Chain A
Amino acid sequence: MLNFIIRRIAQIPLVMLALSLLLFVIIFQLTPAQRAAGYIRSEQQAAQLDNIIRQRGLDQPFPIQYGKWLSSTVQGDLGFSRTSSKPVFDTMKERLPSTIELSLYAGIPIVLLGIWLGTLSALNKDRFVDQFLRVFAVLGTSLPSFVLGIVLLKFLYGSLGWLPGPGQVDVLNQFAVLDPTFKHYTGMLSVDAMLNGRWAVAGDVLRHLIMPVLTLVIIFSANILKVMRAQMLETLTSDYVRTARAKGLGNKAVNLKHARRNALLPIVTLTGFTAINLLAGAIITETIFAYPGVGQWVGSAAQNLDVPAVMGFALLSAIIVVVISTLTDLFYGVVDPRVRFD
C-alpha cells in the first residue's frame, strides 16, 4: 500500500507539468493584445495597450514565456493575481480554508443523504416515495446551480426573510470578524469564531452557510441518489441476496448489510468526484452567495483573463485531483476487501 501511495504522490509533479503546459498552449492561442486586455480596467488604460504588451513581455515567444513562468513557479513564486491584488499563493492560502469549510458542511450531507435516499428509493421501487425521489433526482441534476441559488436567495432571503443574505456574516458581526483582535486560526470562519469564543458570530456563520450548503446538497446528492438507487436495484436481485433471504435473514440485515454495502462501490468513486468538484471550487455557488472561497476568486480571474491566477488554480486542482483519487482508491480496499494495492 505504501508503494501505491508513493507512486501516486510521485505523479503529482508530472500531472501539474502536463496540465500547466496544456493550459499555456490554450492561453497562447490568444493574441498578445487579447492577453493584455486582462490588465485593462478602463477605457483610458486601453490607450496603453502597446506599453502593457511590451512591459509584460506578452509578445515574447512561447518557450520564453512558459520558461519564465515555470522557473518562478519552481522557486515557489506563482505570480501576482490582478483579480485579488495579491500573490497567487497568498490568495489561495487565504481562500482555500473557506472552500474546505463549505465542502465539509456540504459534503457530508451530500453523501449521507444521497445514500439514504437512493436506498429508500430502491427499497420502495415504483411506490410514491420512489416516484417522488426520482423526480427530485431529475430536478437536482438538471437544475443549474445559478438558477437554484438565485431562487433560494430571492425566496428564503428576499421574500420570506427566513435566512440571511449573501456573505458569511451580518454587518454587526462583520465588525467582530474584521476587528484586529479576532484571530483567524484556521481560516474557516465558523471554527475560528468558536475558537475565539464568539458564539454569536459562529451561529451567524452557520446560518449564512444554510443556503449555499442547501444548493450544493440538492445538486450533488441527486447524482448519488440516482447511482445508489440503480446499484441497490441491481444488488437486490443478485444471487447472494436471494441466498441470504433463503437462509432466513431479516429484511433489514439483507438490505443494509448485504445489498447496500455492495452497492456502495460506485458511490465511493462518485464521492471522490464530488469532493474534487467541491474542493476545486464550487464556482457558481460561491459567487452567488458571496462566499470567499477559491471558486469565487477563480471565476472572476477567468473572466478577467488573469493568467497567473488561472495557472495557479490549475496546479492546486491537480494536487486535489491526485490526492482525492488516491484516497478514493484506498477507500475501495475498505469497502471491498478483494481490492488490494500490492
Chain B
Amino acid sequence: MMKPTSLTLLTALLLGSAAFAATPKDTLVIQQSNDTPTLDPTANYDTGSSNMIENMYDTLWTYKGNSLRAFTPMLATAVPTFTNNGKTLTVNLRKGVKFHSGNSFTCADAQYTFERNLVTNSAESGNWFLAESLTGTQANANDDKSVTWDKISKAVQCNAQGQLVFTLPKADPAFLAKLAFSGQSILDKQWAIKQGEWDGTEKTWKDWVGKDVQGSNLSKNPSGTGPYQLVSRDANALLFKAFAGYWGKKPAIQNVIVQKIPELAARQQAFLRGDADLVETGSRANIEEQLKGKPGVVIVDGLPNTSATGIFMNENIKAGDALGSGKLDGNGIPANFFSDANLRRGFAYSFNYAQYIQDVQQGKGKQRTMLLPDSFPGYDAKVKTYKFDAAQAKSYFQKAWGGNVWKNGFTLNADYRAGSVAAQTAMEILKKNVEALNPKFKVNIKQKQWADMLNDSKQGKEPMIIIGWAPDYADPDNFMYTFYSSNGYYFPRSNWKDAAVDKWLDQARATVNPAERNKLYSQVANRAYEQAPYLLVPAGVGLYAIRDNLVGANASTYNPMLGSSTLFTGTAWKDLSKK
C-alpha cells in the first residue's frame, strides 16, 4: 500500500512541477480552431492558410498599413501604373532577395508563379479571378478550350531587362488589388521543381491543368521570401522562425507557434492565463462576455468590416412550390411578385435597422448606403438609406400591384442559412414588422442548409433569402458587379436588371481612372436606392482581443484584407513585438 509520503511526492511531481510560464518574449503563440488547409499559395483561398502564407511569402505589393486604397511594394520595387490603355503592366523587381531555400529571387520565379496559378486554376482556389484578368475567362484549360499554352505564356513574361510584364486582353482596374492577394505570392521555382511540382514547361502543362495542389509537396516543404520560414509541423502545431536572410526589416518576434485548439473554452482559458498571445475568440458576444475587462486582456474595437449582406427579393421566382397559390390571393405570390419597386420599397421601410444593430451586433453596427464596405474605394456615404418607417412601408405596400397587395395580402416564403443566428434574427424582424402592417400579410421563414440554399437560389428558386459577400480583393467591382450587374454572380438570385446600372458597371470595369469609377459607383448606388433591389442589412463592427504585452497590433495597423484579419489582428507578425 502506498504510504502517505509517497502519495504526496507523486502528487507534487504531477501537480506541483507543472511550470506555467507566460509565453517567451521572442515567441508568439497563436491558437486557432482548425487545421491550416495549405501552405501552397496557389491553393490558398481561406483565412487560415492566408494567415500563414502572408507571413512566409511575399506578393509583388501589398496593402499599405490599414488602407484598402493604397499599396506598398514588396517584391516589386514600386507599384507600377498601367500602359497601353490599361492592358500592359510592367513590374520592376527587387534585387538581392533570397528564398528560404537559399535560392535567389528572379523574374523567372514570378513568371512561374503566375503561370502555375493559371495552369492549375482549380475550382477550390482563388485563381479564377487572376485567370479572368489574364486569359479572359475564369475557367481553366480543361473547362474552356480557348485557354491555351500560348495564351498563358504570353499573358505573363520576363523581358530582356528582367522586368515582369503582364499583358491583359482588356483593361482591368482591379488587377493591382488582385495581385495583392496572398494566393498570388511568389514561389521559388527551382525549389518547387525539386519538390516534384510542375516543371514550368509547355511539354507538361496539360498534366497539371485543374490539379488540386492543396496537399502539394510545396505545401509540405514551403520556401518563400517572407520574414518567417516553416521549421516543422505536427498534427496539432506549426513552428516558424524568423528568416535570417529576409530582405526587409528584421522581425522582433523570433518564433511563432501556431497551435490547433478546437475548443473555444480551452482557447479562452489559455489566453486568460497568458499561455497564448492570440486566440481565435469567436463572436463579439464571446469577447464581451468572456474576455473584456479581464486582467492582461486588451480589446481592440471599432474595426472595419469588409463583408456586405443583403436580403434578396427575387423578381423572377422559378419554383412553383415556393409560390404557394402562385397568385396574389393571400395564399401565395406570383413569380414576378418582387418586380414592383413599390413592393420592394415597402419591405425596405419595414426592416428595423436599429433593432438589428442592437439585437445582433450589440449596438456596434452600421447601416451602409450600398452593398459595398464603407472602407472600400468607391463607397459613397452621401447616398440615401431606408429607415424603419411603418407609415412609409404601409404607403408603398398600398401602391404595390395597383393596390392588390394591400387588398388581397400575400404569403411569402423566405429562407435563411441554417445555424446563422444573425440571419434568423434579421428575417424575424422583417416578418414581425411586415405582418404587423396588414393581417393579410404572411411571411413564413425557415432555415435551410447552406449548400441547398446556394444551389436553389442560383437556380432562381428562392423568393427571398439573406446572403453576404466577402471580398477576394479590395476593389469595388468585386462587390458592385457581383450584386448589381445582370451579369454578376448574384443576378440569378435577384433577377434585378437595370440597363443603366449595367452600363455604368461595365464602364467602371473598363476604366482605370479612380475618380471616374467612383462617380459611376455613386450613380449605381443612387439608382439602387430608388429601385430597392435589396434590403441592406447593417454591417457589424470588427474587434479582437490581445494580451496587453503584445505591441504593434491596433486599429491603425489592422488591415481587413489580410488573412489574419478575420480571426486575429490583421497585422503581419513581423510588425509585432512583446514587452
Contact = CB atoms under 8 A, between A and B. Distances in A.
Interface stretch (B80-88, B199-207, B261-269, B438-446): B261-269
A290 interface: yes
Contacts of B233: 178
A167 B236 contact: yes
B295 to A, nearest CB: 13
Contact of A86 (B18, B215, B257, B470): B215
B261 A49 contact: no
B153 to A, nearest CB: 24
Contact of B36 (A46, A52, A85): A85
A235 B191 CA distance: 71
Contacts of B468: 43
Interface residues of A, number: 67
Interface stretch (B168-176, B449-457, B507-515): B449-457
Contacts of A289: 263, 266
B261 A290 contact: yes
A228 B45 CA distance: 54
Contact of A178 (B21, B48, B234, B273): B234
Given A49-B458, A178-B239, A36 B451 contact: yes
Nearest to A184: B234
A290 B20 contact: no
A174 B472 contact: no
A134 B255 CA distance: 51
A326 B354 CA distance: 65
Contacts of A207: 14-15, 17-18
A164 B124 contact: no
Interface string B418-459: 000000000000000000000000000000011110110010
A45 interface: yes
B129 to A, nearest CB: 9
Given A158-B269, A161-B273, A31 B451 contact: yes
B114 to A, nearest CB: 19
Given A52-B124, A86-B215, A171 B18 contact: no
Interface in A277-313: 287-290, 292, 296-297, 299-300
Interface in B10-41: 13-15, 17-21, 23-24, 27, 29, 34-38
Nearest to A304: B34
A268 interface: no
A157 interface: yes
B215 A153 contact: no
A170 interface: yes
A55 B125 CA distance: 13
Contacts of A161: 20, 273
Given A158-B273, A292-B235, 16 more contacts: A39-B124, A41-B45, A44-B470, A49-B458, A51-B143, A52-B123, A158-B269, A163-B18, A165-B266, A166-B266, A170-B20, A171-B21, A177-B234, A178-B233, A178-B239, A203-B13
21 contacts: A33-B452, A37-B449, A37-B454, A39-B123, A41-B45, A41-B46, A44-B45, A49-B451, A52-B124, A55-B210, A83-B35, A94-B235, A153-B266, A157-B269, A165-B266, A167-B259, A203-B13, A290-B263, A296-B262, A299-B262, A300-B262
Interface of A: 31, 33-37, 39-49, 51-52, 54-55, 80, 82-87, 94-95, 98, 150, 153-154, 157-158, 161-168, 170-172, 174-175, 177-180, 203-204, 206-207, 210, 287-290, 292, 296-297, 299-300
Interface of B: 13-15, 17-21, 23-24, 27, 29, 34-38, 45-48, 122-124, 126, 128, 139, 143, 210, 214-215, 219, 231-237, 239, 255, 257, 259-263, 265-267, 269-270, 272-273, 275, 307, 449-452, 454-455, 458, 468-470, 472, 489
